[in-house]
Structure 1
Amino acid sequence: MSTSKWFGRKFDFSFGPDEYTSIYQRLQQAPDILAQLLTSIPEHILTHQPDGKWSVKEHTGHLSVLEPLWRTRMHDILEQKPVLTATDLENKATSEAGFNKDAITALLEKFLAERRATIELLDSINVPGNGQTSMHPRLQQPMRIIDIAYFTAEHDDHHIAVIQELVKGR
């Protein structure tokens, strides 16, 4: 796991459908991993914004903010849209949400609820058997639903790694 900039990452989606089970498990486990990591962390650590960057709470809130985008993109593929729905590259929804005012338990519950909705959607699709693609607008790569799931798991890992560094830096 690297805490390098997310937007600089490149992704290889050449893996086969046999990887889906492990990707699915990563998606299922992320809320629990995050909750375990943030148990008993003092409030001043959770809200600290090093060098004006996001705090632990803001990273946690960001995960739930983006969860509907992952589901929308899965629907884009199912609906055979040529290009996936774009994200706000400035992350205004996260920056303007005021997550530092929220209890960490509420942020974790929101992420869990959003992730459960994503898991329910995945459960309703034959993901390994669905080879349809749509173009990712920033990466300029075609993506399948399994690729969206992998991308989401990688995004989780990226933010969890940043959160771990913020917690260690107390």
Structure 2
Amino acid sequence: MYKRPEHGEYATYYEPYIALVPEGDIVSTLERQADETVILLKGLSDEQALFRYGKSKWSIKEVLGHMADTERIMAYRLLTIARGDTVPLPGFEENAYVREAGFDREPLENLLANFMAVRASTSALVRSLSEEAWPRTGNANGHLVSVRAIAAMIAGHELHHRKILMERYMGSSGFPGE
């Protein structure tokens, strides 16, 4: 069963994400927070979802697409390590992924559906893990990481970006009203 990861089970730059994750059942956390993110964004128009709080910042659509892409990658890492594969897993360049994805061309409704599909898959995977899988470690992006740390990173990454969406995007004085 899930136990909060300890220092040494992940690269230190993930600490801010992991610190955001509440204690308790990680599957419930993943399911609950996905619903909260969808509730936050589903009332936005496509025009509002194109908002950027700064010239070089991603749009809301791009942030949501980034969240789904990152979760797919992290879930693959989790699966690989949980299944005992010892292959070193590569990093990824998030800005290149966002640039190439064309998220701004997609209707917000489709991006939300994609995000929910990714989260449902992640939740099912995490729910299926054996007790022995949780502490397993592997190498991702040149760093040691445990399965339980990756589950926490996934949850924390979403919480991190949801906070940014609420504060810097939707809380901005320049955010377009309805």
TM-score interval (norm. to shorter) = 0.7 to 0.9
Q: Which residue of 2 is the match for residue 125 of structure 1?
A: 129
Aligned with residue 43 of structure 2, among 27, 40, 44: 40
Distance 2:65 2:148 in 1: 24
Distance 2:111 2:117 in 1: 10
3-state SS in 1 of match to 2:68: helix
1:55 aligns with 2:55: no
User: Alpha-carbon deviations, 1:87-143, whole Å to 9, x = none?
Assistant: 3124322222111121111111100001111111112212576321113325x3x32
Instruction: Pick 1 or 2: higher relative contact order, CA cutoff 8 A, min separation 6.
Output: 2
Distance 1:10 1:156 in 2: 12
1:166 aligns with 2:172: no
Q: Which residue of 2 is the match for residue 101 of structure 1?
A: 105
Distance 1:8 1:78 in 2: 21
1:86–1:137 contact (8 Å) kept in structure 2: yes
Residue type of the alignment partner of 2:72: P
1:20–1:128 contact (8 Å) kept in structure 2: no
**Structure 1 residue 8 displacement after superposition:** 8.5
Structure 1, unaligned stretches of length 5 or more? Answer: 1-6
1:127–1:145 contact (8 Å) kept in structure 2: no
Q: Which residue of 2 is the match for residue 68 of structure 1?
A: 72
3-state SS in 1 of match to 2:91: coil
User: Alpha-carbon deviations, 1:41-62, whole Å to 9, x = none?
Assistant: 2433310232221011100111
Distance 1:8 1:167 in 2: 29
Distance 1:73 1:98 in 2: 24
Aligned with residue 15 of structure 2, among 11, 21, 35: 11
RMSD of Structure 2 on Structure 1 (CA) = 2.8
Q: Report the TM-score when normalising by structure 2.
A: 0.75
Which stretch of structure 1 is more off in the superposition, 82-91 or 35-44? 82-91
Structure 2, unaligned stretches of length 5 or more? Answer: 1-10
Note closer, same or farther for the CA distance 1:137–1:64 as it changes in structure 2 (3 Å cut): same
Q: Report the TM-score when normalising by structure 1.
A: 0.78
